[in-house]
């Protein structure tokens, strides 16, 4: 049985925001973070629910300061992290930061193992709201749960509510132990902006379908305050086409994944912005009931996924993994809806709806999905 959820009152729905790594890697700066916060507001992402602006690796100097403290790189953050946090907070957003549960980060900067109390207190003083805690560096003989619990306890004593994201790449089945330690935990190796790489589950990097295949069977670990994390979004990063972007976003929403954008928000296209701000799809991810979607049918090249919603409706995805178009069909019974004389079927991408006697079908293009929300009855519901 999965561990009980960490009781810090945070992440009652999956967190939404942005992270610097997928597009910028080590090229991170105060100017980038602040401009991204501006873009998040200007382009409707804040209004759609995106909250966190997260700095990833390479934000600090290669050595700790004279008192053992972490030091923000003055060339990248000339006024320090605290000033960036204040800027982000003035926008009505929250700031995230990165560290690792080893002696070094993945890019070779100082890690937090053995410094958890001091680093957590420093993050709190700076006004940090979210910590992504990675898995690189020397573990100094400590187990995974020991290393991640040490930072959990340090955050709890920091005097600030800081959402805790465990990034141990799914190495030691974190869905079995991490819910009592963190608000979310990575379930896989790092994502790459490819539809599929056909990599085994333990290989890096992973495409969208490679990661999706590893989520089946993990839904019982996920609930409010504690979420499976199939890694950050690659929507808009230049390799996925429009159908693949919509499919990726739809599937992550059905999985109750944290919706952490990884593209350059300052220069995204209208099409990418429309994907990231589709409120009907976001509503599926953010449903307060917190039930993670599951695969209900696998026909090889096509699949059916479904997620029960708190109002009695069911969200459903018809997925075409290969070439199309292909007709995919399911029924209200198969996706778990109660019997009714009729149903209302809402297309969450076309924003249209129709009545059904129980069948749900669509012609789905290459590497694409059709996504619906289905209610028993004639359409009287809250949306």
The residues that are catalytic are 134, 190
The tokens for 84 are: 């960036």
Detail the DSSP E strand segments found in the chain.
16-19, 52-54, 94-100, 130-134, 163-166, 184-186, 227-229, 259-261, 294-298, 302-308, 314-320, 326-331, 343-347, 352-356, 359-364, 368-376
334 — alpha (psi -120 to 50), left (phi > 0) or beta?
alpha
Spatial separation of the C-alpha atoms in residues 5 and 152, rounded to whole Å: 12
- What lies within 8 Å, CB to CB, of 81 at 6+ separation is 55, 59, 72, 95, 97, 126, 128
Closest CA to 113 of 159, 59, 70: 70
Find out whether 231 and 188 touch, Cβ atoms under 8 Å.
Answer: yes
């Amino acid at each position: 049985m999965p561990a009980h959820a960490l009781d810090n009152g945070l992440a009652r729905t999956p967190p939404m925001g942005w992270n610097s790594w997928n597009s910028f890697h080590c090229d991170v700066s105060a100017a980038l973070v602040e401009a991204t916060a501006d873009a998040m507001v200007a382009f409707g992402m804040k209004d759609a629910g995106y909250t966190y602006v997260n700095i990833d690796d390479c934000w600090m100097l290669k050595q700790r300061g004279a008192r053992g403290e972490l030091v923000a790189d003055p060339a990248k953050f000339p006024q320090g992290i605290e000033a960036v946090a204040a800027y982000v907070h003035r926008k009505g957003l929250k700031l995230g930061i990165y560290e690792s549960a080893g002696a070094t980060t993945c890019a070779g900067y100082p890690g937090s193992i053995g410094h958890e109390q001091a680093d957590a207190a420093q993050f709190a003083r700076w006004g940090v709201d979210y910590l992504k805690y990675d898995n690189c560096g020397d573990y100094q003989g400590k187990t995974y749960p020991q290393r991640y619990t040490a930072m959990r306890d340090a955050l709890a004593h920091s005097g600030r509510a800081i959402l805790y994201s465990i990034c141990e790449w799914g190495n030691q089945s974190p869905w079995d132990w991490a819910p009592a330690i963190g608000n979310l935990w990575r379930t896989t190796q790092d994502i790459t902006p490819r539809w599929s790489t056909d990599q085994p589950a333990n290989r890096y990097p992973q495409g969208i379908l490679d990661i999706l295949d590893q989520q089946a069977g993990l839904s019982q670990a996920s609930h409010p305050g504690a979420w499976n994390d199939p890694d950050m979004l690659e929507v808009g990063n230049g390799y996925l086409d429009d159908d693949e972007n919509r499919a990726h976003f739809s599937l992550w929403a059905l999985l109750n994944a944290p919706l952490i954008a990884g593209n350059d928000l300052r220069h995204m296209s209208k099409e990418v912005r429309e994907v990231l701000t589709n409120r009907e799809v976001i509503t599926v991810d953010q449903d307060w009931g917190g039930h993670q979607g599951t695969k209900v049918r696998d026909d090889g090249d096509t699949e059916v996924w479904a997620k029960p919603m708190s109002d009695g409706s069911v969200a459903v995805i018809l997925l075409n993994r290969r070439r199309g178009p292909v007709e995919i069909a399911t029924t209200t019974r198969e996706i778990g809806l109660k019997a009714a004389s009729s149903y209302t079927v809402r297309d969450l991408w076309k924003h249209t709806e129709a009545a059904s006697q129980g069948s749900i079908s669509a012609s789905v293009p290459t590497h694409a999905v059709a996504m619906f929300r289905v209610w028993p009855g004639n359409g009287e519901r809250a949306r």
